[in-house]
Amino acid sequence: MSREASSARKAALKDAMQREKIEVLVLFGNNWHADHLRYATDFGIQEGQGIALVREDGTTTLILDDPAECERARLDGSCETIFAPGLVQEAKRQLARAGNHNIAAAPYHLLPYGLLHGEKDLRVQDGAAIIERLLMTKMEVEIAAVRQAAALADEGYAIFRQAARPGRKDYELVAEMESFFRAKGVPENFMIVGVGGQEVRGMAPPGGKILKAGDMVTTELTPCYDGYYAQICRTLVVGEPSEAQRKAFNVYLEAMIAGIAAVKTGVTAADVARAENDVFRKYGLGDYVTSEYTRVRGHGMGLFPDQKPHILEDVNIRLETGMTLIVHPNTYHPEVGYLVLGDSLVVREDGHELLCGTARELFFNPVQ
């Protein structure tokens, strides 16, 4: 991870703690929720669990319960690192030195139970307000990394299109993408796929399905560059698309364009979701924008592939300049199955900066 981005993040976190008069910030992480930990330590945890103690002077202690992870973190050398199989006990021992100082922690709902209970003198408040705004709203040095990740996503999808040939298994596509991204120096890529027709209700890890003529092949690629993720979602058809597939795709295209057009500083995540969903309602597909058929209409990205704000009609988080999002009206279509389309972008004062360059079309590979 670049020193410039790391230094900028640490300075921003220190300033935020001073504004909130927090003397110690406790950040918890594991291999799925690693962004809070990564923001302060530069360390992307892969195994076990970790707790970072960030002090008001900017010094940080990283406590890890996996010996291999601890060794990896020490080689990185970005902060003091302690191996402790009793993660909570060691964290509490370190915090006891802070006495009655103001202590906050995040993500609060994921903290180990023992860290918050059992010590009368240890009062820990919810620190989400301190860290989550920093995670959502990027500095330009961070946006530069997201921009590079988006360029890699575009390159990756071009490889995916070539790989999606009849007779191949879905896991072969994933293997080819992993090989491509690793050769490009990408350490992590979140990817799911869908193969088939009307029976397909979503995307998932590969299960051995064989591509055949008429199948829609959906994917989202989320490569990581310098610690930051960007995502692209596209759909292709094996062979010539049917009229029903083309007609359905046009609804998703219209919805994505409407959602992206709604993005600018000051609007809410709900405004963007509503712009997308209203297109589906216009075509009598309103049932398919509910939680029964879809999870979100987009989401934030950065040090984690799927961050706040989630683009949903009940999320009233205001978009701020520098937020990095993907707008994707991914959902099930009753005639053709699950279909996806999504582009990454940066929220700007008067609109957005589009990060994806892949054409917004229903791709297809001819059957020989």
CATH for 199: 3.90.230.10
Strand order in the sheet with 60-64: 80-83, 60-64, 49-55, 24-30, 103-106, 124-126
Same structural domain for residues 361 and 222?
yes
Same structural domain for residues 213 and 350?
yes
Beta pairing, strands 363-365 & 232-238: parallel
Same structural domain for residues 239 and 273?
yes
Same structural domain for residues 127 and 29?
yes
Same structural domain for residues 174 and 42?
no
H helix count then E strand count, the chain: 10, 17
- In terms of DSSP H, where are the helices of 32-139? 35-41, 67-76, 87-96, 113-116, 128-136
Instruction: Detail the DSSP E strand segments found in the chain.
Output: 24-30, 49-55, 60-64, 80-83, 103-106, 124-126, 189-196, 216-225, 228-229, 232-238, 298-300, 324-327, 331-333, 337-339, 343-348, 351-354, 363-365
Q: Predicted confidence band at 96 (pLDDT cuts at 50, 70, 90)? A: confident
Q: What is the pLDDT of residues 312-359, one digit of tens each?
A: 999 999 999 999 999 999 999 999 999 999 999 999 999 999 999 999
Residue where one domain finishes, among candidates 85, 116, 135: 135
Tell me how far apart the terminal alpha carbons of the chain are, to the nearest angstrom: 45
Residue entry with tokens 């978009």: 319
| Least confident span in 31-45, 110-124, 177-191, 281-295 | 110-124
Same structural domain for residues 336 and 243?
yes
Same structural domain for residues 131 and 144?
no
Inter-residue contact 209 to 170 (CB < 8 Å): yes
Look up the CATH number of the domain holding residue 96: 3.40.350.10
pLDDT reported for residue 124: 83
> Does residue 22 have a pLDDT over 70?
yes
Q: What is the pLDDT of residues 98-142, one digit of tens each?
A: 665 789 999 998 888 888 776 666 778 899 989 999 999 999 999
> HSE on the CB side for 298, CA within 13 Å?
39
Same structural domain for residues 166 and 28?
no
Q: Predicted confidence band at 15 (pLDDT cuts at 50, 70, 90)? A: very high
Distances (CA, A) of 61 to 54, 67, 79, 267: 7, 16, 6, 38
Same structural domain for residues 65 and 30?
yes
Residue where one domain finishes, among candidates 106, 135, 164: 135
Same structural domain for residues 89 and 154?
no
What percentage of the chain has pLDDT greater than the value 90?
A: 86
Residue where one domain finishes, among candidates 101, 135, 169: 135
pLDDT reported for residue 40: 95
pLDDT reported for residue 118: 60
Of the candidates 321, 344, 351, 265, which has an alpha carbon nearest to the alpha carbon of residue 140? 321
> What is the rounded average pLDDT of the residues 298-311?
96
| Least confident span in 5-14, 81-90, 96-105, 234-243 | 96-105
Q: How many domains does the chain have?
A: 2
> What is the rounded average pLDDT of the residues 219-238?
97
> What is the rounded average pLDDT of the residues 169-183?
97
- What residues make up the domain containing 37? 3-135
Same structural domain for residues 244 and 207?
yes
Same structural domain for residues 104 and 146?
no
